Amino acid sequence: MANETRESAQGSSRIQATGPGEVTVDIRTPDLEINFGPQHPATHGVMRILMRADGELVTGAQPHLGYLHRCAEKIGENVEWLQYLPYTDRYDYLASMNNNLGYSLAVEALLGIEIPRRATLIRIICAELNRIGSHLVAFGTYGLDIGAFTPFLYTFREREWMMALFEKICGARLTYSYIRIGGVFNDAPPGWFEEVARFCDVFDEKWKEYCDLLLVNQIYVKRTANVGVISRDMALDFGLTGPMVRGSGIDWDLRRDMPYMCYGEIWRDGAFKIPVARGEMGALGDCWDRSWVRVMEMVESTKIVRWCLDHMVDGPVIGEIPKTLKVPAGEAYVGIENPRGELGHYVVSDGGKVSIRTRVRGPSFCNLAVLEDVLPGSLVGDAIAIIGSTDIVVGETDR
């Protein structure tokens, strides 16, 4: 026991909450155990990290989850296929379109139905716009974590327009339930595509402002470069996905490597690139690299949106889907590139009206695991920067 305590004080082993069992060996000042969260402005929701700190130095960290657990997967096994769609909105509430898309694709894979071309293109536009919106929040709130307030409001200026676009197409601003099984809920209103094109044009100018204001700001670089370095091996070991893995220099993007819908076609057209960090400001895989990847991904998303606008066709936006859907027996897994990484839906049907197993692989949950190994050894200020750079949404880690 004594040995274990000494080890944990050095941060080499996992830490436990202080309890009656813990004993203090030799004369030394005990490390401070801090409950970082669940109510803390930098946890991006209700996450709790039990941190052990020696002054400003973090010697151990253990994330505790479950404060926002809403039994999403169990609900998926109790409601009908179509009824589950609104629940998907709620895991990663910053990227609801992508969540809808992931679930719809999984169910469609079981149904084996053809999606109208127009619906596919509208889906991609919505998913990519939502990716922009999600990364805007990620980057803006990351600025808040570092202590810069203004970039947050700059990013929300553009996000506001993005949400207005979604409001026009589906009436909701956050939880859309717009992408349905078989297509999308309704066609875009007149003039919507033109406005999306205008948004892309304006955004091409605006993202440079974020770079000037924050990304290449010397203080920002000093705060994030060489901080929270996740090496390539570590990224692979932890199964990181999305900007987290690309921030560690691994070229992995499901839109290209496991293409769904017509992303493969867009990639072959050369319409977009996949930004992969090169360790420009410090070690490869530091916080700066991850934020750079997010900013660059927003730019690439506008290119995908433009391609879809250029190739838009007329036609129906949803196939013939009965109100009470019966899905053929079988199982399907579809992983899509959510803004935070691979969002996987694994659904099993016995041929009935209700799924017998719904399993969600949430990218935030998987990316969060790396915190326990990255945080020890950093300063308290760095710890905030690292947590912010993982860009978790607690709604998804807990579901």
Partner 1 sequence: MSGTSAFLEGLKAGLGEFVPMWALWLGSALISVAIALGLISLIAMFSVWLERKVAGHIQCRYGPMYVGWHGWLQSIADGVKLLLKEDLIPRDADRVLFMLAPALVLAAIVGAMAAYPLAPGILFADIDLGLFFIIAMSSMTTIGVVMAGWASNSKWTIYGSMREAAQVVAYEIPLGVSLLVPVMVAGTLNLREASAAQADFFGMGWFMFKNPFMLPAFLLFLVAALAETKRAPFDLPEAESELVAGFMTEYSGIRWSFFFMEEYAAMFLMSAIGAVFFLGGFESPLTHLAGQLFGRDLVVVGAGPEFAFTAINWGALVYQLVAGGTLLVKSFLGIFLMMWLRWTLPRIRIDQVMTMGYKYLTPLALVCVLGAALWEAGWQALVRS
Which residues bind to partner 1, rule: CB under 8 A? Answer: 32, 34, 40-42, 55-56, 143-150, 153-154, 157, 213-214, 217, 219-220, 222-223, 379-382, 384
Q: Which is nearer to partner 1, 157 or 232 (CB)?
A: 157
Beta carbon of residue 217, minimum distance to partner 1 (angstroms, whole number): 6
CA distance 36 to 50: 6
- HSE-CB for 266 with a 13 A CA cutoff: 30
Q: Which is nearer to partner 1, 155 or 367 (CB)?
A: 155
Beta carbon of residue 309, minimum distance to partner 1 (angstroms, whole number): 27
CA distance 323 to 114: 18
Beta carbon of residue 140, minimum distance to partner 1 (angstroms, whole number): 11
CA distance 362 to 240: 11
Q: Which residues of 139-152 are buried (b: 16+ CB within 10 A; e: fewer)?
A: bbbbbbbbebeebb
Q: Which is nearer to partner 1, 133 or 344 (CB)?
A: 133
Beta carbon of residue 167, minimum distance to partner 1 (angstroms, whole number): 20
Name the residue type at position 121: L
Nearest to 136 by CA among 50, 226, 45, 207: 207
> Edge-to-edge strands of the sheet including 32-36?
32-36, 48-54, 57-64
Q: Which is nearer to partner 1, 69 or 157 (CB)?
A: 157
Beta carbon of residue 121, minimum distance to partner 1 (angstroms, whole number): 33
Beta carbon of residue 382, minimum distance to partner 1 (angstroms, whole number): 7
Helix 150-170 to helix 192-210 angle (10° resolution) is 170
Q: Which is nearer to partner 1, 253 or 382 (CB)?
A: 382
Which tokens hold the place of 107? 């169910």
Q: Which is nearer to partner 1, 208 or 222 (CB)?
A: 222
